[in-house]
Amino acid sequence: MEITAQAIADLLGGEVVGDPAAVVTGPARIEQARKGNICFLANPKYEHYIYDTQASVLLVNRSFVPKQPVPATLVKVDDAYASVALLLEHFSRLRKAQKRGNRLWARLSPKRSIACSARIGKGTYIAPQVYVGPRVKIGRNCELHPGVRILHDCVIGDNCILHADVVIGDDGFGFAPQPDGSYHKIPQLGNVVVEDDVEIGAGTTVDRSTMGSTLIHKGVKIGNLCNIAHNVEIGENTVMAGLVGIAGSAKIGKRCKLGGFAAVNGHLTVPDDTTLAGHTGLITPLKASGKIMMGYPALEYGQYLRAYAHFRRGGESDESSR
Amino acid sequence: MEITAQAIADLLGGEVVGDPAAVVTGPARIEQARKGNICFLANPKYEHYIYDTQASVLLVNRSFVPKQPVPATLVKVDDAYASVALLLEHFSRLRKAQKRGNRLWARLSPKRSIACSARIGKGTYIAPQVYVGPRVKIGRNCELHPGVRILHDCVIGDNCILHADVVIGDDGFGFAPQPDGSYHKIPQLGNVVVEDDVEIGAGTTVDRSTMGSTLIHKGVKIGNLCNIAHNVEIGENTVMAGLVGIAGSAKIGKRCKLGGFAAVNGHLTVPDDTTLAGHTGLITPLKASGKIMMGYPALEYGQYLRAYAHFRRGGESDESSR
Amino acid sequence: MEITAQAIADLLGGEVVGDPAAVVTGPARIEQARKGNICFLANPKYEHYIYDTQASVLLVNRSFVPKQPVPATLVKVDDAYASVALLLEHFSRLRKAQKRGNRLWARLSPKRSIACSARIGKGTYIAPQVYVGPRVKIGRNCELHPGVRILHDCVIGDNCILHADVVIGDDGFGFAPQPDGSYHKIPQLGNVVVEDDVEIGAGTTVDRSTMGSTLIHKGVKIGNLCNIAHNVEIGENTVMAGLVGIAGSAKIGKRCKLGGFAAVNGHLTVPDDTTLAGHTGLITPLKASGKIMMGYPALEYGQYLRAYAHFRRGGESDESSR
């Protein structure tokens, strides 16, 4: 996995200032770079690092003029920041190509538990220690990292990434209270359907539906350690940070954004383009789309901040009136 | 796993209107039903679905009179809603019977790690990728789903269900601060005892006690991704949603209900029949039983909502007085 | 694993009153003790238990004078409370010595997935069902409990304890929004570096850096089910309870204490010796070190409690003015 400064310039439509044969083996942050690294300079406050960096290649804007000699080879491009994403993907593709070489072996290894009745699409990588239950269907070009569990009858689309220890299709939390104070389990017979291009963070759990399907629509991105309860539906391109909880039968719209520790009560419908700040608890229905909500119970963002400013002064006025 | 409309009617003490030989392979929600499904009508707002559903059988109240012809076979019962639970359990039993067929093989498979000194009761199902440590005892008719870890010396009762990636018996979080600012680990030598009829959600962790036992009493139901610390005791038939945290040595009473993100501080005793709303933090002792608490620090529910209404207007009055 | 009362007295510099040959097999809480247990009396409110305990040995202060005959053998020491930690560690060392006997076998077992390119230090115990990816380096005398996943290129220091299902090095949550509302994954090519003497609780996830390293410094102790995002740095001897969330690129100082459900926003720097109470959300920078913060958004502890007292009365005054 080596690439020269010239090859990088060709890839990015840039120009080399220095040694075109300088070899790069991977990217690094400029403050931690060593020989073989490529770094980029996007924020001027990091400029002082470039004059004594050990990095082999620096990616800079075409307009950048160094104030002192720079030890590294420069690759000048129109927009250094935008080029970084391209470059990272190029490295990522190279790494995956290496990883994919192991795929056939992977399927045959005793280190995975894959039901015979499961169907797995072409190009899908399954790490050791993954469990794929009976009648599961997984699409093409997915990545299932170590410890992922996909329980019986669940369906995963194409190009999905499930990180370590994700659980898809554990039972929903459904119990019928009995007269003696005990609870009776309500069997959970549905499944989970995850559409294409979904990424789910490490340790997140998605419960199977009581009947029908818990639905994660196309393009959804979910952080680590989230709890998605049974019968939930999450709309296209919604993103949520880590440690978010969605209670049973809630329906989250498209393009929503949920901060860490945000919670949505059961059976609520959250309109498209809603944002929930961190620690927000939505417990009553929202009608209009596009709102930003904060607090518990959730208020509109501006109202919450004004009320909180007042709350904060409450303590101060008490203090001063003593 | 097929059952006819007539067999369902016999099971539920109902009456067939339509084809008694109509075949059912599983339940579905009425808005998603296909051929082979059985659906039920409990809420009149869903009635319009029944006139063009593809479901094969519909479960309805004996008093129900359709306004138009219904394509599906009807099974009429005294209480359709109550019958659904019976029906779901019947399907669940059929599925489990299939699953149990694999049990003997399961114990012999290299896909599990079961210590020779562990004792496991009759009828207990252990999925692949489960870890059962030395001297663990597990009762009868339990289900341990993929990735469950039960560490050394812990005890599980009869009829318990532990979902994927549950951890029972990891070390409690106990450290003694040292003069130099570092921490010294306090060894955790106790165990966890889980009594009969307990269900624990995916990814939940229950720490072993420093000495003695962390105790989960009979009939407790715990959601996904909860953190039960060392020396905790949870009373009979208490239920908690996902992402709840109980700190060390807290003692939760019987029949309590804890919402998502609720937290109980260390060493507190929570009386029987207490309810904690979502995101509530209980940090001081509660004396009377049966209270509903909300907020952080927790107040009584009514008081919190009144105070929050006032808080909310605080922001508005500031706004209007500008 | 048996030890006599006399051996315990020798270990702790104490004196035996009773049978010096009394055999102890392990510690217990005094209210649960049986034959073979050693218990200690630190809190006078537990004194009544000692007069009819089944414990074989009791650890008491040299100054303690029983009011009635005590059935157990006493070991009198200068400070019973301080001696308990020593004693627990002694038992812990004995247990580990037993466990370590299995280590060689462990490395050879098909029950682990350890990449050939991984390097593992002497004295490190790796439980079954652990995953150690390519080029991972693990120091000496670590413990990796069942289900731990250390993904490619991550580095673990000496004397670290990773509890069941810890995930080190899953991808950071980085996505670039696209004009059509979808998100594009930003490859995560860095790693995680965990320094010496770190303990991480069950189910916690630590994301790999986009570039460079997510850094957990020496002596850090992290509870269960925490989410440490990419590029985060956590200073020496900082401790955090369970269910804490640290967002991307936040930098936490030394000797900080974070309560359950505490959250730190992305890119914030938290000064040394900061305490965040449970459920606190830090969303703006803190300048001075040593502060205790509470609430969401976080206020100083005293101010929050005064404001909350005022908030609480808000509800009451509304009530009384009706």
Question: pLDDT 10s per residue in chain A (322 long)?
Answer: 678 899 889 888 899 999 999 999 888 778 778 899 898 876 777 888 889 899 999 999 998 888 999 999 999 998 887 787 778 777 777 665 544 433 333 344 567 888 888 899 998 999 989 999 988 999 999 999 999 999 999 999 999 999 999 999 999 998 888 889 999 888 888 899 999 999 999 999 999 998 889 999 999 999 999 999 999 999 999 999 999 999 999 999 999 999 999 999 999 999 999 999 999 999 999 999 999 999 999 999 999 999 999 999 876 654 444 3
Per residue in B210-219, pLDDT tens? 888 999 999 9
One-letter amino acid at A199 equals E
Residue B111 is predicted with a pLDDT of 75
Q: Using an 8 Å CB-CB cutoff, list chain A residues near C299.
A: 312, 315
The pTM (predicted TM-score) of the whole model is 0.82
Residue A94 is predicted with a pLDDT of 66
Residue C116 is predicted with a pLDDT of 80
Q: Is A269 helix (H, G, I), strand (E, B) or coil?
A: strand
Active site residues of B: 230
Q: From the candidates C24, C91, C279, which should be mutated to test the interface with B, based on the most B CB atoms within 10 A? A: C279
Is residue A230 annotated as a catalytic residue, yes or no?
A: yes
Smallest Cβ–Cβ distance between C167 and the set A32, A110, A202 belongs to A202
Rounded distance between C-alpha atoms, residue B5 and residue B57, angstroms = 7
Q: Using an 8 Å CB-CB cutoff, list chain C residues near A197.
A: 182
State how far residue C198 is from chain B, nearest Cα, in angstroms: 10
State how far residue C131 is from chain A, nearest Cα, in angstroms: 7
Residue C103 is predicted with a pLDDT of 37
Residue B83 is predicted with a pLDDT of 81
Smallest Cβ–Cβ distance between C303 and the set A225, A242, A312 belongs to A312
| Cα dihedral B288/C316/A297/A302 (nearest 10) | -160
Of B22-31, B299-308, C217-226, C235-244, where does mean pLDDT reach its minimum?
A: B22-31
Active site residues of C: 230
Q: Using an 8 Å CB-CB cutoff, list chain B residues near A189.
A: 26-27, 88, 91-92, 95
Chains touching C (3+ CB pairs < 8 Å): A, B
The H-or-E segment that residue B205 falls in is strand B205-207
Q: Which of C80, C184, C168, C165 is nearest to C127 (CA)?
A: C165
Rounded distance between C-alpha atoms, residue C46 and residue C114, angstroms = 49
Rounded distance between C-alpha atoms, residue C108 and residue C145, angstroms = 16
Smallest Cβ–Cβ distance between C239 and the set B113, B131, B183 belongs to B183
* C251, pLDDT greater than 70: yes
How many residue pairs from chains B and C have C-beta atoms closer than 8 A?
Answer: 164
How many residue pairs from chains A and C have C-beta atoms closer than 8 A?
Answer: 162
Nearest chain C Cα to A227, which residue? C225
Nearest chain C Cα to A278, which residue? C281
Quick one: tokens of A279? 């620690």
Q: Where are the beta strands (DSSP E) in C172-284?
A: 175-177, 183-185, 191-194, 199-200, 205-207, 213-216, 221-222, 227-228, 233-234, 239-240, 245-246, 251-252, 257-258, 263-264, 269-270, 275-276, 281-282
Q: From the candidates B131, B173, B207, which should be mutated to test the interface with C, based on the most C CB atoms within 10 A? A: B173
Rounded distance between C-alpha atoms, residue A321 and residue B4, angstroms = 77
Smallest Cβ–Cβ distance between A113 and the set B26, B129, B237 belongs to B129
Confidence band (pLDDT; 50, 70, 90) for C315? low
Binary contact (A203, B203; C-beta < 8 A): yes
* C154, pLDDT greater than 80: yes
Chains touching A (3+ CB pairs < 8 Å): B, C
Confidence band (pLDDT; 50, 70, 90) for C90? confident
Give the number of residues written for chain A: 322
Q: From the candidates C167, C208, C268, which should be mutated to test the interface with A, based on the most A CB atoms within 10 A? A: C167
Q: Is C271 helix (H, G, I), strand (E, B) or coil?
A: coil
Smallest Cβ–Cβ distance between B186 and the set C88, C95, C254 belongs to C88
Confidence band (pLDDT; 50, 70, 90) for C3? confident
Rounded distance between C-alpha atoms, residue B179 and residue C210, angstroms = 37
Q: From the candidates A279, A301, A308, A316, which should be mutated to test the interface with C, based on the most C CB atoms within 10 A? A: A279
Rounded distance between C-alpha atoms, residue A23 and residue A9, angstroms = 12
What is the ipTM, given to two decimal places? 0.80
Binary contact (A91, C187; C-beta < 8 A): yes
Tens-digit pLDDT profile for chain B (322 aa)? 678 899 889 888 899 999 999 999 888 778 778 899 898 876 777 888 889 899 999 999 998 888 999 999 999 998 887 787 778 777 777 665 544 433 333 344 567 888 888 899 998 999 989 999 988 999 999 999 999 999 999 999 999 999 999 999 999 998 888 889 999 888 888 899 999 999 999 999 999 998 889 999 999 999 999 999 999 999 999 999 999 999 999 999 999 999 999 999 999 999 999 999 999 999 999 999 999 999 999 999 999 999 999 999 876 654 444 3
Quick one: tokens of C48? 């009544």
* C101, pLDDT greater than 90: no
Residue B159 is predicted with a pLDDT of 97
Q: Is A304 helix (H, G, I), strand (E, B) or coil?
A: helix
Q: Of these residues, A145, A163, A230, A279, which one is catalytic?
A: A230
Binary contact (B254, A297; C-beta < 8 A): no
Binary contact (A127, C129; C-beta < 8 A): no
Mean pLDDT estimate for chain C: 88
More confident residue, C41 or B161: B161
Query: Are C281 and C263 contacting, i.e. CB atoms less than 8 angstroms apart?
Result: yes
Quick one: tokens of C219? 């002596």
Which residues have a Cβ under 8 Å from the Cβ of C271 and sit 6 or more positions away? Answer: C253, C286, C287, C288, C289, C290, C291
Residue C218 is predicted with a pLDDT of 98
Query: Are C119 and C137 contacting, i.e. CB atoms less than 8 angstroms apart?
Result: yes
Query: Are C297 and C281 contacting, i.e. CB atoms less than 8 angstroms apart?
Result: yes
Cis peptide, bond prior to residue C179, ω within 30 of zero? no
